[in-house]
Structures are given as C-alpha cells and as structure tokens.
Amino acid sequence: MSNQFGLLKTRRFLPFFLTQFLGALNDNVFKQAMVIFLTFHAASLSDLPLPALLNLCAGLFILPFFLFSATAGQLADKYDRAMLARLSKVIEIAVMGLGAIGFVAASLPALVLALFLMGTQSTLFGPVKYAYLPQHLNDGELVGGNGLVESATFVAILLGQILGAWLVGVTDAWGLSAAVLLLAIAGWWTSRGIPHSPAPPLD
C-alpha cells in the first residue's frame, strides 16, 4: 500500500492523476448542473417532455464513444500521450466556454452541443489514460496506479454530482459558468506537468 500511495509523490503519476480527476469532476459538475437547469427550464426551452429531453441528452453524451473511440485509440497509438492529454484539456476549456454561453443565454442548442462535444473530448482522453499508465509505471506499480485512478474517478463522479447540484442552488448562471471554466483551466494546468510520453514505434 505504501508503494501505491507513494506514486502520488512522483511527477510521472501525480500530474496525470490530477488531470484525470479534474476532468471527471468537471464532466459531472456540468452534466448534473445541466440536468437540474433543464428540469426548471424545459418548458421554455423545448417542446419535448422533460424525460425525453433528458434521455436525449444522455444519449448525446454517450454517442461519441461509439463514433470516435476507434479513432481516439489510433491517435493514442500514433502521437505523444502527454500532448494528446493537453490537447484534450484545451478542447475542454473551449467546450466549457460553449456550455457557459448555454447557461447564461439559456440556450438549449448550445448546451446540447456542449454536452456532445464534452463526450467527444472524454472519448479522446480515454485511450490516453490506458496507454499512459503502462508506459510510466513498472509491473509492480501498475495495479496500484490503476486502482488509484479508478478510485479517484468514482470519487470525482460523486463529488461532481453533489457540486453541480449545489452550484445550481447557490449561484446564478454566471457563477456556474465560472466554476466549470475554472475546473477546465485547472485540468489544463495540471496536464502541463505530464511528462513526455511518445507513442512506441509501430511494428
């Protein structure tokens, strides 16, 4: 166990760990806040019944995983994983900017497009996660490192849902927008510490 938590002191693990955690946290803050926002504003934003609208949004977030996972995996096999992680965080900042416009302007198209693009960004980052850890952890560290990342992801999901609901209750659209943008920027900042991770040469 000491070896497992000792990874949190290393540059080869901690920046990636924090980047993954902040990304999962921001995804769930945005999704939860959007669900609650739509619950209160669905009648003025769309003619669809609320359950149908929420199911549509859930499907749009998952759709990029079906459409782009293979391409994302090919990119992770071809390009530096640290560069792809930083690129995904830049995309996240842009997507949260679009989501902020959706919240402030109460624009359903902007929110729905941001949700779809957020799923696309998560799809890009997924293969990077699974390629990065074996590249920087040795055989004795890999199980513990995977356990830390997966545990932190579940914590981020729970905290994101709580934080998203709390933010909707205590702040306005501007405050909510600032929160998701700041989380995206924080994720980009931690990604800058991820060490160079070139893809291995293809046979």
Q: Tell me the pLDDT band of 32, cut-offs 50, 70 and 90.
A: very high
Average pLDDT over residues 110-117: 93
Q: Are 67 and 75 in contact (CB under 8 A)?
A: no
Q: What percent of the chain has pLDDT above 90?
A: 54
Q: Which H or E run includes 178?
A: helix 173-191
CA–CA dist 99, 181 (Å, integer): 9
- Identify which has the larger pLDDT, 47 or 147: 147
The pLDDT, as a whole number, for residue 1 is 46
- pLDDT by residue (tens digit) across 33-78? 998 888 887 666 777 777 888 888 888 889 998 899 899 889 988 8
The pLDDT, as a whole number, for residue 202 is 60
Residue that has been written with the tokens 């929160």 in this structure: 179
Average pLDDT over residues 179-200: 92
- pLDDT by residue (tens digit) across 119-144? 999 999 988 888 888 888 888 888 88
The pLDDT, as a whole number, for residue 37 is 86
Helix, strand, coil abundance in the chain, percent, nearest 5: 85, 0, 15
Average pLDDT over residues 21-33: 94
Residue whose C-alpha is closest to residue 95's, from 37, 26, 165, 154: 26
Q: Are 145 and 133 in contact (CB under 8 A)?
A: yes
- pLDDT by residue (tens digit) across 164-189? 999 988 988 899 999 999 999 999 99
Average pLDDT over residues 16-41: 91
CA–CA dist 144, 9 (Å, integer): 14
The pLDDT, as a whole number, for residue 203 is 55
Residue that has been written with the tokens 């996240």 in this structure: 92
Contacts of 185 (CB under 8 A, 6+ apart): 93
CA–CA dist 115, 117 (Å, integer): 5
